[in-house]
Amino acid sequence: MTQTPSLAPSNPLIPGFHPDPSVCKVGDDYYLACSSFEYLPGIPVFHSRDLAAWSLIGHVADREGQLDVCDTPTLGGAWAPTLRHHGGRFYCVVTDAHGRGSLIFTAEDPQGPWSNGTVMQGVSGIDPDIAWDEEGTCYITYSGLLLHDGDAPPTHLGIQQVRMDPRTGRALEEPRSLWSGTGLMFPEAPHLYKIDETWYLLIAEGGTERGHAVSIARSTRPEGPFEGCPANPVLSARSTDRPIQNTGHADLVQRPDGSWLMVMLGMRPRGTTRAFSPMGRETFVTSLHWEDGWPVVAPVELTPPGPEVRERDDFDDECLEPRWLGVRRLPASVASLTERSGWLRLHAGEAKAGMDDLRPAFVGRRQQHERAAFSALLDVSGGTGGISLRIDEQHHYDIEAGHGVIRARARVGSLTQTWEQPHPGDVAVLRISTEKPPADGLENLAADMVRLSVRSGTAGDSGEAWTTLALLDGRYVSAETTASFTGRSVGLYAAEGTVDADWFAYEGHDAQR
């Protein structure tokens, strides 16, 4: 069978907040998983046949109890999965930060169902990797970052490793310390590979911000001793003018033609000083080749913007597309597709604080393009609700309808501001859109502006007229300002009573460089 020519992967490879990617090849198929933090379902799993086109096929954690994120602080939850295939089974090792700890999930089929998750005893740290040697011995290599509850600063033990029985999750020995990079802060994201007759240890160091970097070492044995690459770090965008920054937390995969690719997280900071990244850390890809037994990694290039993406959910199916997310709760716990045929019904229930709530009655999707518009038709005869663009419960922009009023709201830290106007009737079409900031004034420091609007009755020249209630600076809902590990998600919410959505539409395209 002739191989269809591989498409050259484009960047971002998986847009929207999809940090800490891990990729593996099984036969002619590739699978990739990412962190998901406090969102559920958690740990998205993507599939590709050519490493270029990816589709979301499900989630590792799609049931109650697999992750304990119900009360997790923002930034907590599912951190840094490693996805591997061994002995006919898929493995996903991951840390449920401030939750269950480091876990092993297994599945026969990467679409799921995945197991309930086994806690790894004796693995005190984050970013677990799983690898086997020829004898079948299983190695868990991880970052010895000890997360303490409360204000105590974390302790870091460097890169650690134990042999493990993956069936029980029990370590078979005391942890040993391995090579931990070139001395930059936060050695983490270790991955162990046997390539030809050499064991390689790939790590991230420098912290996930602008100093992020990828370094590598090699040994004749999986437990070392490891020798660092003379050219370390083999990848970093630090202090460069590259449009993709923060590159780090990488994983390697080989293609059928023998060539290698590296996936990693990165950011697309925008604004005059390129300081703000609305979508947070996304998945990117680059190529590499080997020289003297060391990888030489190409800089991560940004692909020119593609065509506009238009997606619309009419809520006519029995279940939601897998891209829909809840915050610390599964979407099905707040939203129903069966109570009103062709509508999504959201119940505010115990989420009394609207989008300020730790577990809002919210069902959303990631923003995946720099210029995006989210709109929905809502029936608010049963309560109050709308559309929210959120980073977390303290940083969100909302537009809602209810009790004869349209209300826009900006929550930035301890500050909240609202704008209102009367609205006749119980049906409203609401929209949140992002746009290029004005060329003059301080607002051009922002990556974008966020417009909160409602469709007014009269159709204007454009075929429909939108009334803007607020035009807000997008930097306050960007990853850097909020010190967020995630990025924007946008969706529907009920603040009080029940709210029905007839459809939800997404339009997105990336800005020209």
Among 35, 277, 286, 481, binds ligand 6LW (CB under 6 A): 35
C-alpha span between 250 and 191 (Å, rounded)? 8
Torsion from C-alpha of 492, 496, 502, 504, nearest 10 degrees: -10
Among 61, 83, 126, 192, binds ligand 6LW (CB under 6 A): 126
Contact between 129 and ligand 6LW (CB under 6 A)?
Answer: no
Residues 68-107 touching ligand 6LW, rule: CB under 6 A, are 79-80
CB 107 within 8 Å of CB 126: no
Among 38, 68, 127, 473, binds ligand 6LW (CB under 6 A): 127
Contacts 24+ apart (CB under 8 A), 439-446: 443/473, 444/271, 444/272, 445/271, 445/272, 445/273, 445/275, 445/276, 445/475, 446/271, 446/276, 446/473, 446/474, 446/475, 446/478
CA angle 387, 390, 391 (to 5 degrees): 170
Among 61, 83, 93, 189, binds ligand 6LW (CB under 6 A): 189
Q: Catalytic residue, from 20, 38, 398, 496: name it.
A: 20
Burial class (CB in 10 A: 0-12, 13-18, 19+), 410: buried
The site map against ligand 6LW for 229-258 (x = CB under 6 A) is: --------------------x---------
Contact between 485 and ligand 6LW (CB under 6 A)?
Answer: yes
SS3 call for 422: strand
Catalytic, 188? Answer yes
Which is nearer to ligand 6LW, 211 or 474 (by Cβ)? 211
The site map against ligand 6LW for 142-181 (x = CB under 6 A) is: ----------------------------------------
CB 23 within 8 Å of CB 279: no
Smallest distance from the beta carbon of 210 to ligand 6LW, in angstroms?
A: 12
Name the residue with the smallest CB distance to ligand 6LW: 208
Q: Catalytic residue, from 96, 129, 188, 357: name it.
A: 188
Tokens 């847009």 -> residue: 15
CB 200 within 8 Å of CB 227: no
Smallest distance from the beta carbon of 392 to ligand 6LW, in angstroms?
A: 14
Contact between 188 and ligand 6LW (CB under 6 A)?
Answer: yes
Among 12, 14, 15, 20, binds ligand 6LW (CB under 6 A): 20
Instruction: Pull the structure tokens for residue 166.
Output: 């993956």
Catalytic, 135? Answer no
Provide Rg for the chain, Cα atoms.
23
- How many chain residues touch ligand 6LW (CB under 6 A)? 12
The site for ligand 6LW (CB under 6 A) is made up of 19-20, 35, 79-80, 126-127, 188-189, 208, 249, 485
Give the residue numbers annotated as catalytic, written as ranges: 20, 188
